[in-house]
Amino acid sequence: MAEIIIGTGAAVPDYVLDNDGVAEMVETDDAWIRERTGILQRHIAKEETADSLAEEAACRAMADAGIAPERIDLIVVATTTARVRMPCVACRVQEKIGAKQAVCFDLNAACTGFVLAYQTATAYLKAGIYRTALVIGSDCMSQVIDWGDRSTCILFGDGAGAAVLQRHPGLDYLPVAGADGGKGEVLSCQALYERQSFCKESGKSGFLHMDGQAVFKFAVRKVPEAILEVLELNGLTIEDIDWFVVHQANRRIIESVARHLGVSLERFPVNLQEYGNTSAASIPILLDEMKHSGQLKKGQRLVIAGFGAGLTWGASILDYEH
């Protein structure tokens, strides 16, 4: 028993901040950001939150899937930037779409979040426990960014993406995933309650801290490894895959992964120029764009691969059959 995506949706904030806008806040410029990252602009939440964007993306995915909300058995939301600690975002989404039967929980795995949420949901589907799942990645990274730190504030944007999955007879793929908790300090962000209760130096804690070069080196090594591992595990090769949908963090990382694998960059869709790094949302936003632009066609096979704080990583194979 396998699973298929029967609907996708995405939502991004209205406000667009281009590189010139960022250069008004910190000492940087459009050329540096383009060259080092490939990012031209990002969407930044003014009124929106990770919760509201998740709800919007979910509504669109449900409309796209064309199924009744009562048929959703499971909602998993990958996020690290929920507006409130509890209840979880998945419960908010459940209430919004009227999925009264759904089991709901959130999952925290930073930029690997969507891949791990997808793997969690598909494990339930494969086991025959549930039939239909709604998987969402939603983050407002702008809320945890120090807008005075030019090494991080240029990278991130806000958004949400969602996919409705259904159990389906067909090929059953095994996933790969992993973590290296010993490298946690490479990319970290203290919880807000620590900042409010204990931190004397307000302004520095509660923001994302990153060793950019260490993350870069980790990503260009681990992502190709994970992709090759998931292919081997399932008896497939690079040639069997139509699209490599990789977390959208930095164009140079994606180019390096393609080079390592000996795959044309054309098989690595990229939309980070428009959104920046939207963390858990980047893969489902890209899937939604590929679907609605006609790039993604019935019968094609994809690898989705994520990496991020933890450090964490994961890769899955899926057939697009809708």
Amino acid at 177: A
Give the nearest distance from C-beta 112 to ligand ACO in angstroms.
Answer: 7
In the DSSP assignment, the letter for residue 139 is: E
Q: Under the criterion CB under 6 A, does residue 286 sit at the interface with ligand ACO?
A: no
Q: Under the criterion CB under 6 A, does residue 154 sit at the interface with ligand ACO?
A: yes
Residues in a beta bridge with 133? 74, 165
Our answer to whether residue 250 is catalytic in this structure is no
Report whether the peptide linkage leading into residue 87 is cis, meaning its omega lies within 30 degrees of zero.
Answer: yes
Nearest to 65 by CA among 126, 131, 123: 131
Strand pairing category for 176-179 and 312-320:
antiparallel
Catalytic-role residue among 19, 153, 189, 247: 247
Among 19, 37, 122, 142, binds ligand ACO (CB under 6 A): 37
Our answer to whether residue 108 is catalytic in this structure is no
Residues 291 and 93: beta-carbon distance below 8 Å: no
Give the nearest distance from C-beta 33 to ligand ACO in angstroms.
Answer: 6
Q: Under the criterion CB under 6 A, does residue 186 sit at the interface with ligand ACO?
A: no
Q: Compute CA 58 distance to the chain's CA centroid, rounded to the nearest angstrom.
A: 14
Strand pairing category for 74-78 and 132-140:
parallel
User: What CA–CA distances, in Å, run from 247 to 23, 197, 229, 237?
Assistant: 25, 34, 17, 21
- Measured from the CB atom, is 36 or 126 closer to ligand ACO? 36
Q: Under the criterion CB under 6 A, does residue 277 sit at the interface with ligand ACO?
A: yes
Residues 268 and 246: beta-carbon distance below 8 Å: yes
Interface stretch with ligand ACO, choices 1-9, 31-39, 61-69, 233-241 (CB under 6 A): 31-39
Q: Under the criterion CB under 6 A, does residue 187 sit at the interface with ligand ACO?
A: yes
Nearest to 141 by CA among 51, 272, 44, 206: 44
| Residue burial 269-278, b: 16+ Cβ < 10 Å; e: rest | beebebbbbb
Interface stretch with ligand ACO, choices 28-36, 100-108, 192-200, 290-298 (CB under 6 A): 28-36
| Residues in contact with ligand ACO, shown as a per-residue x/- string from 218 to 247 under the rule CB under 6 A | ------------------------------
164-183 residues in contact with ligand ACO (CB under 6 A) are none
Q: Under the criterion CB under 6 A, does residue 21 sit at the interface with ligand ACO?
A: no
Q: Under the criterion CB under 6 A, does residue 216 sit at the interface with ligand ACO?
A: yes
Our answer to whether residue 277 is catalytic in this structure is yes
Among 30, 205, 212, 268, binds ligand ACO (CB under 6 A): 212
- Measured from the CB atom, is 25 or 68 closer to ligand ACO? 25
Among 8, 19, 28, 316, binds ligand ACO (CB under 6 A): 28
Q: Under the criterion CB under 6 A, does residue 62 sit at the interface with ligand ACO?
A: no
Q: Site size for ligand ACO, by CB under 6 A?
A: 22
Nearest to 84 by CA among 140, 167, 3, 34: 140
Nearest to 118 by CA among 153, 163, 152, 58: 163
User: What CA–CA distances, in Å, run from 213 to 142, 216, 219?
Assistant: 21, 5, 10
Catalytic-role residue among 88, 111, 153, 189: 111
CA–CA distance, 99 with 104 (Å, rounded to integer): 10
What are the residue numbers of the active site?
A: 111, 247, 277
User: What is the contact surface with ligand ACO in residues (CB under 6 A)?
Assistant: 28, 32, 36-37, 110-111, 150-151, 154-155, 187, 210, 212-213, 215-216, 249-250, 277, 279, 308-309
